[in-house]
Amino acid sequence: MTTPVLEDQQLWEQAGVRLELDGETATVTLCRPERRNAQSPAMWRALAGIGRALPGTVRVVLLRAEGVSFSAGLDRAMFTPEGIPGEPNFIALAHAEDKELDETIAFYQEAFTWWRRPDLISIAAVQGHAVGAGFQLALACDLRIVAEDVQFAMKETSLGLVPDLTGTKPLTDLVGYARALEICATGRWVGAEESVANGLANLAVPAAELDAAARDLAAALLAAPRNAVNETKALLQGAGDRSYEEQRAAERAAQARRLRDLAGLGD
C-alpha cells in the first residue's frame, strides 16, 4: 500500500470523498452535503481508489458524511436521458452487451467490497437518510453507529431495480432472510430504534454525539493487539459457512498461531 498523492486526493474530493489519515486510523468522509451525498460512478471510483491506496498501517477506517444526510442514494441524473456527463446512464447500460454490463456493475461494486477486508475494521457513522446506495455503503462496513434521526431504506425495488452494490448479503446476515426481503421489497424506512433492535446498528446516539461515539469505538478497537483482532475477525466472518466442528478446528488453528506468535515462535 502507498500513501495517496495529493493529486489523487484532489480528484477524490472533486468526486465528493475526502480521506484523512491519523496514525492507525483513516477517516473517509462523503463531502457533497449540498447534494445530500448522492452517489455517482465518479464517487465510486474515488472510494475504490481510497481502498487501494490505504497504507498498510491503517487498522480502523471511519466512514462518515457531511450534512444532514449520510447519502440520499444514487444521483438521480443517472435516470435521465442526459445522465451525468462522461458516465453511462441507465439507458446506455441497458443496451450494453451482457459481458460489458456485468463488468460495469462489477466495477461499481469495487467501491463497496474492500471495507470488510481482513486487515482492518470499518465503522460507518450514519445520520439522516441512508437510501439505496447509501444504505448499501453503510452495510459494506463491519460496524455501524447511527444517529437517532437515521432513516435507512432500500428503494431499488420500488424503482424496478434490485440492490446490486453488495448490500443484500450483509443485510440478510444481519436481520435474516424474511426481514431483509420485507425491507427491500417494500422500500420502507428503518429508524434508529429498529436498527439497533434488529442488528443493523451497534449503537444509536444523539446526532451531536455521532462523531465522538465513532471515535470512541475506533479507540477501543485499537486497544487490542492487531493480530488478535484480525484473527478474531476472520473466525467470526467465516463462522456462518462452517459447521460446528469446522469452527472448533478453525478456533484451534487460530489460537495455535496466536500462542506461537506471543511466544516469539511465529514466522
pLDDT at 265 over 70: yes
- Alpha-carbon separation of residue 255 from 25, 188, 248, 251, 263 (angstroms): 26, 43, 11, 6, 12
pLDDT of residue 80 exceeding 90: no
Mean pLDDT over 22-31 rounds to 97
| Residue 90 half-sphere exposure toward CB, CA atoms < 13 A | 10
| Measured distance CA(93)–CA(91) in Å, rounded | 5
CA distances from 39 to 93, 95, 191 (A): 17, 22, 21
Distance in angstroms (rounded) separating the CA atoms of residues 136 and 171: 9
> Which residue's entry shows cell 453507529?
145
Residue 184 has pLDDT above 90, yes or no: yes
> What is the rounded average pLDDT of the residues 207-222?
98
pLDDT for res 2 = 45
Answer yes or no: is pLDDT of 31 > 60.
Answer: yes
pLDDT of residue 267: 66
Question: Could you tell me the domains of the chain?
Answer: 6-222 (3.90.226.10), 226-262 (no CATH)
Higher pLDDT, 4 or 25: 25
**Which of these, 120, 122, 136, lies nearest to 234 by C-alpha position?**
120
Q: Helices 244-262 and 226-239 meet at what angle, rounded to 10?
A: 170
Strand partners, 107: none
Q: Is the dihedral of CA 90, 187, 157, 173 positive or negative?
A: positive
**pLDDT band (50, 70, 90) for residue 125:** very high
pLDDT of residue 1: 41
User: The cell 437515521 sits on which residue?
Assistant: 150
Please report which confidence band the pLDDT of residue 89 belongs to, taking 50, 70 and 90 as the band edges.
Answer: confident
Beta bridge partners of 97: none
Rounded to the nearest integer, the mean pLDDT of the chain is 95
Residue 238 has pLDDT above 90, yes or no: yes
> Does the structure show a pLDDT above 80 at 152?
yes
Please report, as a single letter, which amino acid is at residue 160. G
pLDDT of amino acid 88: 86
Q: How far apart are CA 90 and CA 76, in angstroms?
A: 10
37 Rama sector, left if φ>0, alpha if ψ -120 to 50, beta otherwise: left
